[in-house]
Amino acid sequence: MPTALPRSKVKKNQTWNSESVFPSPEAFDAEVKDLLESLETVKKYKGRLGESPDVFIEAMQFMDKLAQRAAKIQVYATMSSAVDTADQTGAAMSGKAMSAFAQVGAETSFVDPELLSMGEARLRQWLAEDPYMGMYEHYINDLFRRQAHVRSAEVEELFGMMRDPFGTVRTTAHLLANADFKFKPAKNSEGKKVDLTQSTLDAILSGSDRKARQTAWENYNDKYLEFKNTLASNLTASIKQNVFNMKARRFNSSLEATLFNGNVPVEMFHNLLGIFKKNLPLWHKYWRIRRKALGVKTLHPYDVWAPLTTKKHRVPFEKAVDWISAGLEPMGREYVDIMRKGCLKDRWVDWSPNAGKRQGAFSTRVPSDTHPFILMSYTDDIGSMSTLAHELGHSMHAYYASRAQPMIYYLYPSIISETASNFHQAMTRAHLLKTNTDRYFQTALLEEAMDNFHRYFFIMPTLARFELETHQRIEKGQPLTADFMIELMAELFSEGFGGEMNLDRERVGITWGTFTTHLYIDYYSFQYAIGISAANAIAKRILDGVPNAAQEHIEFLKAGSSKPPMEVYKIAGIDMTSVQPIEDAFAVLEEYVDRLGVLTDK
């Protein structure tokens, strides 16, 4: 069973390359100070954007550099605080970065209202007459698409100033769960204590010791239940912020506001949930197969990640990099070499489990003058290999987009963000299923696939249903309490379990409290299901040998947000305005469930 190392004991090659961003925390502080002093220069452009295309382009280029610097500060602070949430230096840097980012947003918030006041006709004329204006065409198109919801310069400045205090709600949830919570140790089948932290939970839950799984799952959720009222109040505050923004920007619902901002059709959300509910019997079938394979009388939530075979498959970090590289070989030598160098030489990945490391995994979105970085807790198994593949997909997306686009376009839309990550998993899985025919290894790979689909095609749509209900209650002026949210979550999971799993209502019901990132990003959870659907569609094109499919995927990565998201998807050769990719992804899931059923029957 894993034991979390103190951060000071982690080997350097297992840590992220912080010195490539800033050589020291002091250098970080100096850059924050200099950035804030540079904001004074922004004022010389206020009220002058309409003077000429040259002034407009000069102003946009200056603000592009400010945004790059702010992004670099944010990357350094985010990683520094995430690798050890108890480290007060990292926490202080995170606060400084958040404040600086908000101040940059406030000082540059005059741009959209000022351009709108100039009128669309004048800007269209500039686009037609000045070739250098071409890069801003999509920005201008999107601005006038959003025109009815952009407020005056004074109000937009207030919105910018609100980013810092509004962001504190999410930070509070993060710090409570990752820095303040100390979990009661689990106990294994021999009665020995097992260290339980955010970075060891996944390894315990995916282990073969059922007693350790049970006590880890119970103790973990009990800590969140202990603070259910605080967590409920905090999440309610976040939802109220979303509803405030919706009303201030004159939308009819928070769902409409969020998806409009990302240029995503609202029907995509409802289509996804409709297809998900239609396919719930497939999940019920999977629970039956899992219960039978484990040989247990009753399946419990802590059995969801249990291994279905007793044979272990140790996958050291370096081997995982080899396997992922082999799976991504159809993407070409350049793609694979960038990725391998990032993992094995440039230290993109902070991968050792350690005490104080925040839960989960993520990859940073980076400016072009630094690397993407990944935080995760790697535990030498197939699940960790899959997580690494996923986050490397994000990293390659950030790498290509940041080097192909100016800052206004380098942040790919959230509806697209989970595509590249799941694409990596699909490609790696396909390669390993084809090249290693050992029955036990095939079973382990299909378990990994089911873990992935469970998270993105079961957990995330369930969270999306929870989000919709809780937001609608606040929009109607109805209260939210911890007990109501627990009961709502338990009822949604009960429907998903279909009577095939024991429902511990309180511990299952507090699931919303354990998602201290996803539920604080408005209506983000459903987009994971969209991402995995698109990813499987793109992977299929490449594996089927569709001409230029790999290069089209790279162009998709490079596009960032330079086009509307549905058009960016078309670059990769898929139509996400159709429900077909979602239906096809459920067909892939069904194939995995059936194959796993056959393998475990043997």
Residues 34-47: what's their mean pLDDT?
94
- Provide the CA 41 distance to its chain's centre, in angstroms: 34
Q: Check residue 3 and give its pLDDT.
A: 62
**pLDDT attached to residue 468:** 97
Instruction: Taking residues 112-122, report their average pLDDT.
Output: 93
Confidence of residue 148 (pLDDT cuts 50, 70, 90): confident
Q: C-alpha angle 20/21/27, rounded to 5°?
A: 115
Q: Residue 23 is part of which domain span?
A: 13-167
- Domain membership flag for residue 129: yes
**Local confidence band at 300 (pLDDT 50, 70, 90 cut-offs):** very high
Position 481 pLDDT exceeds 80: yes
Phi then psi for residue 84, to 5 deg, are -155, 90
What's the chain's average pLDDT? 93
Q: What is the DSSP letter of 7?
A: G
Position 166 confidence tier, pLDDT thresholds 50, 70, 90: confident
> What's the CA gap between 480 and 486, in Å, rounded?
10
pLDDT band at 73 (very low <50, low <70, confident <90, very high): very high
For the four alpha carbons of 425, 427, 430 and 432, in that order, the dihedral sign comes to negative
Q: Would 139 be classed as within a structural domain?
A: yes
Helix, strand, coil fractions of the chain, as percent rounded to 5: 70, 0, 25
pLDDT at 39 exceeding the cut of 80: yes
Query: Which pLDDT band, with edges at 50, 70 and 90, does 438 fall under?
Result: very high
CA 320/CA 380 separation, integer angstroms: 9
Is residue 150 over pLDDT 90? no
Of all residues in the chain, the percent with pLDDT exceeding 70 is 99
pLDDT tens for each residue of 254-277: 999 999 988 999 999 999 999 999
Q: Do the domain assignments include residue 77?
A: yes
Give the least confident one: 176-185, 548-557, 562-571: 176-185
Examine the pLDDT at 10 and tell me if it is beyond 90.
Answer: yes
Q: Is 195 helix (H, G, I), strand (E, B) or coil?
A: coil
Q: Total domain count for the chain? A: 1
| Inside any domain, residue 144 | yes
Helical H segments across 370-410, by residue range: 382-404, 407-410
**Prediction pTM value:** 0.87
Lowest-confidence pick of 84-93, 236-245, 523-532: 84-93
Note whether residue 482 is domain-resident: no
Residues 6+ apart with CB under 8 A from 574: 534, 537, 538, 541, 581
pLDDT, tens only, 371-382: 999 999 998 999
Contact between residue 543 and residue 235 where contact means Cβ atoms under 8 Å apart: no
Q: Which amino acid belongs to residue 475?
A: E
Instruction: Judge whether 291 lies within some domain.
Output: no
CB 517 within 8 A of CB 171: no
CB 555 within 8 A of CB 531: no
Residue 526 falls within a domain, yes or no? no
Mean pLDDT, residues 474-480:
96
Segment 224-246 mean pLDDT: 95
Residue 1 is predicted with a pLDDT of: 47
pLDDT of the residue at 360:
83
Give CA separation, 46 vs 135, 148, 170, 277, in Å. Answer: 21, 22, 32, 51
pLDDT category, 409, cuts 50, 70, 90? very high
Question: Which CATH number fits the domain that encloses residue 131?
Answer: 1.20.140.70
Assigned domain for 119 exists? yes
